[in-house]
Amino acid sequence: MNRTTLAKVAGKAGVSKTTASLVLNGKADKVNIASNTRQRVMEVAKSLNYHPGKFSPGKLNGQSGIIGLFASSFIKPETSKWLQHLIMAAEKEGYIILPQTATKDNTGSKINAIPFDAVILAEKELTFEIKDPNDFEPPVLCLDFIPSSPELRYIAPSKEKQTNEIITQFYHHNKKAIGLLCINENSEEQKQLKKTYLENYCDRFDIPPNITSITASNDTVELIKACDQLIENGANGIIFETPQMVVKAMSIPKIRNLAQRGIMLAAFERIEGADFLPEGTLITLAPNYESMSEEVIDTLTRINNEIKLKPR
């Protein structure tokens, strides 16, 4: 006889696997799951003769088996891209990823509201009121960005490595006059980007810097003006700092059609719909989401083990 799986119970009850697991493992009170939902899950499990295995995470030392994933929205591409990979990486170790929407003002209180074993912050704005990770019981890890506070741990792609890869690809396409378009801020990622551009491109090939910035990544007029400025200064390849810039730029015919003038663009993310652009329009990179997600779970495991070993 085939064993009834959690997925089958969740599907018949019309809930997610996460919700079904929380109910069946007695964790529903901790995440405020509605009583009618709990009853429906329990009835379905009984009708299918489902018997959950013992929920016993083997690595993290918390009591809930829940890892919180915080973002302002999971509809946005820059956060949704991580969700499935993190769920899969956590499930391999017996944990549940619980997505939580939050703002910069309530992230701290939401972290304290549920007994998480660990917390992942997927957006920089959520670190606004989080300066010292010791203020929270679960370990906090920032994903896909470098936080402003040096006290916060993070895992993010190497901007140096990515910038060098884009420069190499530009040269492969014979685009050797490279301009850089940044957002008007001074983030750690931008410092790495500019440093690599200046040292590994400008200084190395004795080429004058061609850098400009804009105040808002979704401003059509600013984007057109900035691109025109870089091209007037000789650029035949333009690096866009943020994926939001590129998404907006690809919606502007004047920028999208720069390939007809021999101008190539580059982005640090895979851009949805980019495959339909004419060849030679856009270079895109993307981190290995699967391996980075596994690194996140492994890192949180290690941090928890270190905490467990510390004398109290």
In one letter, which amino acid is 174?
A: N
Contact 182, 194 (CB under 8 A): yes
pLDDT of res. 184: 92
**Rounded Cα–Cα distance for residues 192 and 189 (Å):** 5
pLDDT of res. 281: 87
**Rounded Cα–Cα distance for residues 82 and 249 (Å):** 24
pLDDT of res. 62: 45
- Give domain 159-284's CATH architecture: 3-Layer(aba) Sandwich (3.40)
Would you call 233 helix, strand, or coil by DSSP?
coil
Q: Which fold has domain 66-156+290-309?
A: Rossmann fold (3.40.50)
Every domain of the chain and the residues it spans: 6-47, 66-156+290-309, 159-284
pLDDT of res. 275: 65
Q: Provide the residue-wise pLDDT of the chain in tens; the chain has 312 residues.
A: 455 677 788 889 998 877 887 888 777 776 778 889 999 999 998 898 876 554 444 444 446 789 999 999 998 877 888 898 999 999 888 889 999 999 999 998 899 888 899 999 999 999 988 877 777 888 999 999 999 888 899 999 999 999 999 999 999 999 999 999 999 988 889 999 999 999 999 999 999 999 999 998 889 999 999 999 999 999 999 999 998 898 899 899 999 899 889 999 999 987 776 666 777 789 988 778 899 999 999 999 888 766 654 443
pTM metric for this prediction:
0.72
The CA-atom distances, in angstroms, between 181 and each of 113, 188, 243, 271 are 41, 16, 12, 17
Phi-psi map region of 231: left, alpha, beta (phi>0 left; psi -120 to 50 alpha) = alpha
pLDDT of res. 26: 74
Same fold yes or no, 66-156+290-309 and 159-284: yes
